[in-house]
Amino acid sequence: MHRWIPPPAVALICAGFMWVVTRQAGGARAAFAWRQPLALMLLIAGLLLMAAAVAGFLHAKTTINPLHPDRAARLITTGVFRFSRNPIYLGDALVLAALAVWLGHAWNLVPVVLFVFYIDRFQIRAEEQALQQRFGSHYQAYCARVRRWL
């Protein structure tokens, strides 16, 4: 299974779609007292999760390139990878959710769901195949104890 669109580009496309939806919808924003603090909390959580995952890749001295998981030198199972097999994608989803909340339109949750669906279906499954071939039973054992997302 080939991956043609880098995941950061998919996230940016989703964010751009959210911006267009907000511009087209005009002033019909959802108003609740905790909208901006919630958006900030989601943003910080997503960025911290991604930073911790990148630090894990750097510490393990392995590739972070999502288009070439077959080049992985090591299987990372520590740090944030103990809780999620895909913490960077989870972080991306949290950042997109933060944007959706901050923009305040319910329709902006649709691109978040589409991002998760696309990444799960087309990116993660291809990565899992490559990692299964590369690390065999070690990867199977890791998958058995750690969920794909959370």
| Within-domain flag for 25 | no
In a domain, 30, yes or no: no
> Is 6 a domain residue?
no
Range of the domain at 47: 35-145
Asked if residue 24 belongs to a domain, the reply is: no
93 falls within a domain: yes
Tally of domains in the chain: 1
Residue 7 placed within a domain: no
Spell 56-70 as b/e; 16+ CB within 10 A means b: bbeebebeeebbebe
- Residue 60 inside a domain? The answer is yes
- pLDDT for 4 equals 74
Each residue's pLDDT tens digit, 15-64 = 999 999 888 887 667 778 899 999 999 999 999 999 999 999 999 999 99
Digit-coded pLDDT (tens) for 81-135: 999 999 999 999 999 999 999 999 889 999 999 999 999 999 999 999 999 999 9
pTM recorded for the entire structure: 0.94
Query: Is 125 part of a structural domain of the chain?
Result: yes
